[in-house]
Amino acid sequence: MVQPPSRVFRVGKSPDAWLRKPPSRGSDPTLNRYDDPLGIYHTVYAASTPYGAYMETLASLRPAPTIDLATSVLANEPGLRGTPPPGLVTNWIERRHIGKAQLNGVFVDIGASESIALLRRRLADRFAALGVVEFDLSALTTARREVTMEISRFIFELEYREQRRFDGICYPSRLGRNILCWAIFEDDHPACITKKQSQPVNATDPELVEVLGHLRISLGPISAAS
């Protein structure tokens, strides 16, 4: 078990970074790492710092390692010169809010050795059916959502004295061990996310600027790509 920090952060679409969406089911391609595979409870994702929240949100927009080749192609193909170059994210910031909230409750430290040992033992049959030969820390950051969603459902169903035992999962980011993330269960129980705040993302936010530099991403309007 691990106690959450006094504040967590989340990047979401305007007008509210904490806006709740209905849970999805099964093989929906929009399902995230620790969503419920049965679509009963909703999972809210947050990070311990604004830096972590920005990294988790923007990582999918980073340019491929072949950026130099792609940039050369754009420069030498007249028909493509109106296309934003790799690494330029157009109009992203106008549609995003950064949220801050207080997090309460009891969470599973999924990266702890005792958690990995318990999951390896209790979910052995399910992991085998999914083709997971050896379950270890790498499985928690795998791109295979069916594996991590099985973990989410197992932890959600753990009970203590006929009540749900945990409010969510604390897990390591696939982007670096300095980023701590939180998958927060929401259903009919009292919400453990309180004192929510949401405001437009500021392009001069030092933590956003740092993330953009690490990911080699530039923000700008479409007109800047011509």
In the predicted structure, residue 211 carries a pLDDT above the cut 90: yes
Least reliable range by pLDDT among 3-17, 129-143, 209-223: 209-223
Q: How confident is residue 138, by pLDDT bands cut at 50, 70 and 90? A: confident
In the predicted structure, residue 66 carries a pLDDT above the cut 80: no
Q: What are the residue ranges of helices labelled H in 48-102?
A: 50-58, 67-76
What average pLDDT does range 205-212 have in this prediction? 94
How far apart, in whole angstroms, are the C-alpha atoms of residue 141 and residue 172? 8
In the predicted structure, residue 163 carries a pLDDT above the cut 60: yes
pTM of the predicted structure, to 2 decimals: 0.82
What average pLDDT does range 119-142 have in this prediction? 89
Phi-psi region of 161 (alpha: psi -120 to 50; beta: other; left: phi over 0): left
Provide the residue ranges of all domains of the chain, joining segments of one domain with +: 8-225
Look at residue 134 in the predicted model and tell me its pLDDT: 87
Q: Which residue has the higher pLDDT, 7 or 192?
A: 7
How far apart, in whole angstroms, are the C-alpha atoms of residue 146 and residue 37? 8
